[in-house]
């Protein structure tokens, strides 16, 4: 943007010249526009290679996701599926550059389970609560907001930050699922796991879906209405998402809020449930984060929260507020500021704000993500 001064009838007038770069960013409406890669300074051959790579590296996860869960968590005492599951689809994906579709593959309208990608949506609802002053400070103790589930010397010390960074070491049971039974150590038995020494909140990262569900339950107490309703009103409708996505909890996760029976939704598909969604809607959500929380003229979630969500946590440098980070080059030789949502079976939303790039991939062999992202990043020139 440049300014020039000219003398008109004895008065100095400033004239603003708006460059092409300063024009409004593109956001998709109902019909999503596509662009040729070369028009957006991307190498089409490398981009084609990335698409072929995704198609040729389909996840080994069983198509019947109920069976896949039973296999993956067979070592968990009393493991059971208490939320919805469904058959998974074939590989699918979409690559956005400057908001435009530059590559796509598979059935993008198919609604699939997205497992722990749900955690990044859940984190967003915590951010909205913070933006709306329902949570004053992420370092506040959750017990100051939610009386039940946070009693005792250890659990009472847990803050919102601890839950968001999976470093709380909360101890207890929720909806008949206990923290010690979720991904237990290979050594020891039930008595050892139940009577373990609790770790200081904030000191150690531990991936644990019971504690993630505790965050969901706690946010439900703060919002006092179903979290899918909040997500729909505050995020999904404003970004133009379809009406096909769903957020499920468990058959026994209903609680009473202000006299109304409400389901506390799960933060993933570990026991079934979580967000079921199509690829286009995932891409819209990713683009919102690529644009630092802004959609067209509306700041849907604060830029401060978007920055906080991708800040390395004290317990694990590669984890923020339920987004995975690339601080230690987990994705290979790609920009360190990349962050991504990560779900079982190879479900990912990858965000590169600096290059205005979003990659959504479904059913990719998980250890192949870095190679895929590298191919896409190398295509930018």
CATH for 154: 3.40.710.10
The predicted pLDDT at position 18 comes to 45
What is the tally of structural domains in the chain?
A: 1
For 357, the domain range is 20-378
Report d(CA 196, CA 212) in Å as an integer: 20
Domain assignment present for residue 8? The answer is: no
342 vs 186 pLDDT, higher one? 342
Encode pLDDT of 246-281 as tens digits: 999 999 999 999 999 999 999 999 999 999 999 999
- For residue 104, is pLDDT > 90? yes
Domain assignment present for residue 1? The answer is: no
Domain assignment present for residue 302? The answer is: yes
Q: Which residue has the tokens 């590989």?
A: 91
Looking at residues 293-305, what average pLDDT do you find?
98
Looking at residues 285-311, what average pLDDT do you find?
98
- Give Dmax over CA atoms of the chain in angstroms: 90
The predicted pLDDT at position 23 comes to 63
Q: Is 130 helix (H, G, I), strand (E, B) or coil?
A: helix
Domain assignment present for residue 270? The answer is: yes
Report d(CA 128, CA 132) in Å as an integer: 6
pLDDT band for position 147 (cuts 50, 70, 90): confident
Encode pLDDT of 45-86 as tens digits: 999 999 999 999 999 999 999 999 999 999 999 999 999 999
- For residue 9, is pLDDT > 50? no
The predicted pLDDT at position 20 comes to 43
Domain assignment present for residue 5? The answer is: no
Domain assignment present for residue 189? The answer is: yes
Domain assignment present for residue 3? The answer is: no
Other CB atoms within a 10 A radius of the CB of residue 12 amount to 8
Helices 369-378 and 44-56, packing angle to 10 deg: 170
- Both structure tokens of 89: 């689809």
The predicted pLDDT at position 8 comes to 42
Domain assignment present for residue 14? The answer is: no
Q: Is 107 helix (H, G, I), strand (E, B) or coil?
A: coil
- For residue 154, is pLDDT > 80? yes
Q: Which residues pair with 257 in a beta bridge?
A: 260
Calculate Rg over the CA atoms of the chain.
22
CA 381 to chain centroid, in Å, comes to: 28
The predicted pLDDT at position 22 comes to 46
pLDDT band for position 333 (cuts 50, 70, 90): confident
């Amino acid at each position: 943007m440049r300014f020039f001064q000219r003398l008109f009838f004895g008065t100095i007038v400033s004239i603003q010249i708006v460059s092409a770069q300063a024009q409004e960013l593109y956001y998709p409406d109902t019909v999503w526009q596509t662009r040729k890669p070369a028009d957006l300074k991307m190498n089409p051959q490398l981009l084609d290679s990335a698409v072929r790579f995704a198609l040729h590296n389909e996840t080994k996860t069983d198509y019947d996701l109920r069976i896949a869960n039973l296999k993956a968590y067979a070592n968990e005492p009393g493991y059971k599926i208490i939320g919805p599951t469904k058959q998974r689809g074939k590989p699918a994906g979409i690559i956005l550059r400057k908001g435009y579709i530059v590559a796509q593959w598979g059935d993008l309208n198919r609604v699939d389970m997205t497992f722990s990608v749900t955690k990044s949506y859940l984190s967003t609802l915590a951010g909205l609560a913070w933006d709306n002053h329902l949570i004053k400070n992420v370092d506040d103790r959750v017990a100051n907001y939610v009386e039940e589930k946070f009693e005792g010397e250890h659990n009472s010390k847990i803050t919102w930050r601890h839950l968001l960074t999976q470093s709380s070491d909360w101890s207890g049971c929720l909806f008949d699922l206990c923290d010690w039974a979720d991904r237990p150590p290979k050594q020891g038995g039930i008595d050892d796991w139940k009577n373990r020494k609790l770790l200081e909140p904030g000191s150690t990262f531990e991936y644990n879906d019971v504690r993630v569900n505790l965050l969901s339950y706690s946010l439900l107490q703060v919002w006092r209405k179903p979290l899918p309703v909040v997500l729909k009103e505050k995020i999904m409708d404003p970004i133009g998402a379809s009406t096909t996505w769903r957020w499920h909890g468990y058959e026994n996760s209903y609680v009473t809020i202000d006299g109304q029976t409400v389901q506390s939704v799960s933060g993933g598909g570990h026991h079934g449930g979580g967000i079921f969604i199509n690829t286009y809607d995932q891409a819209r959500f990713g683009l919102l984060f690529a644009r630092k929380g802004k959609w067209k003229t509306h700041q849907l979630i604060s830029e401060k929260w978007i920055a906080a969500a991708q800040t390395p946590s004290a317990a694990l440098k590669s984890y923020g507020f339920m987004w995975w980070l690339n601080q230690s080059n987990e994705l290979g030789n790609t920009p360190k500021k990349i962050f991504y949502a990560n779900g079982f079976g190879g479900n990912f939303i990858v965000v590169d704000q600096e290059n205005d790039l979003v990659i959504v991939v479904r059913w990719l062999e998980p250890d192949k993500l870095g190679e895929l992202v590298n191919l896409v990043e190398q295509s930018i020139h």
